[in-house]
Amino acid sequence: MKKLLCFTLVGVMAANIASAQFVINESTRLFDPSFRGLANTTWFGWGSGSFDGASNNELIDNPATTIGIATAGVSLTQSTAFDILSSGNNIYTSTAGATDLLLALPTSGTLGLGFTTIIVQGKTAFGGFGIAPAFGTIAGVSSVFEIGNNATASGQFWAKYEIAGNLSSYNLAITLAAESFTSIAELEVDTYWSATGFAADIAVVPEPSALALVGLGSFALFGLKRRSRKAA
């Protein structure tokens, strides 16, 4: 009975990890949501070295998007006049004070109806985050937030919002703490509107203990198979 319980628990743990569509610590880049490119979606973002605006003043003042499909109404600014850009024009807070990244996120869908999914992703050029960025609410809805180091040892985050109804655009504030040494070299946004429900996409960062348990279960099952063969 104990063996059956052990194998059942391991099986459940393995199923939970396997069911996640995206596993951050196994990735080498930001994820492509399952709905990207479909009707009633938007996709836009900023790649490495593209966060300084046209005025080249070391401030984030609505730089042109360099990822995805240019969408009318996209906006990225900062709430302070602190220099939070590195020499390579990536976001790097270093010794700056607390600053909000302010985003205007246009969507595509039937206004006032249905279900809106918004996914915001980002990663560092290398290394992990000093202090994780804090994501504000969108239309009063908090995000499901995951953060960890990916397979290339870069910090990577995923924030997913599920919002009933639809507006033509939403506003989001991402707070970077003072002197947090937070780096962002890539930032992407995907939105999806559906008349029937939210997108099922999820991301996870499995706990080391869960991964170890799955490995232990696999080893135990391998041993069980070997004993079964010998008995045969």
pTM of the model: 0.83
Query: 162 in a domain, yes or no?
Result: yes
Q: What is the extent of the structural domain holding 70?
A: 19-231
Whether 223 and 104 have beta carbons less than 8 Å apart is answered as: no
Query: 46 in a domain, yes or no?
Result: yes
Report pLDDT for 208: 66
Query: 13 in a domain, yes or no?
Result: no
The phi-psi region of residue 17 (left if phi > 0; otherwise alpha if psi is between -120 and 50; otherwise beta) is alpha
Domain count within the chain: 1
What CA–CA distance (Å, rounded) separates 230 from 232? 5
Report pLDDT for 95: 86
Query: 3 in a domain, yes or no?
Result: no
Query: 9 in a domain, yes or no?
Result: no
Pairing of strands 203-204, 22-23: parallel
Query: 78 in a domain, yes or no?
Result: yes
Report pLDDT for 2: 46
Report pLDDT for 207: 78
pLDDT along the chain (232 residues), means of 10: 43 43 96 97 97 86 94 95 93 92 97 98 94 96 97 97 97 94 95 98 81 43 46 50
Of 115, 127, 131, 107, which Cα lies nearest the Cα of 40?
Answer: 107
Of 42, 160, 161, which Cα lies nearest the Cα of 109?
Answer: 42
3-state helix, strand, coil in the chain (%, to 5): 20, 35, 50
Query: 10 in a domain, yes or no?
Result: no
Report pLDDT for 72: 93
What CA–CA distance (Å, rounded) separates 44 from 186? 11
Query: 14 in a domain, yes or no?
Result: no
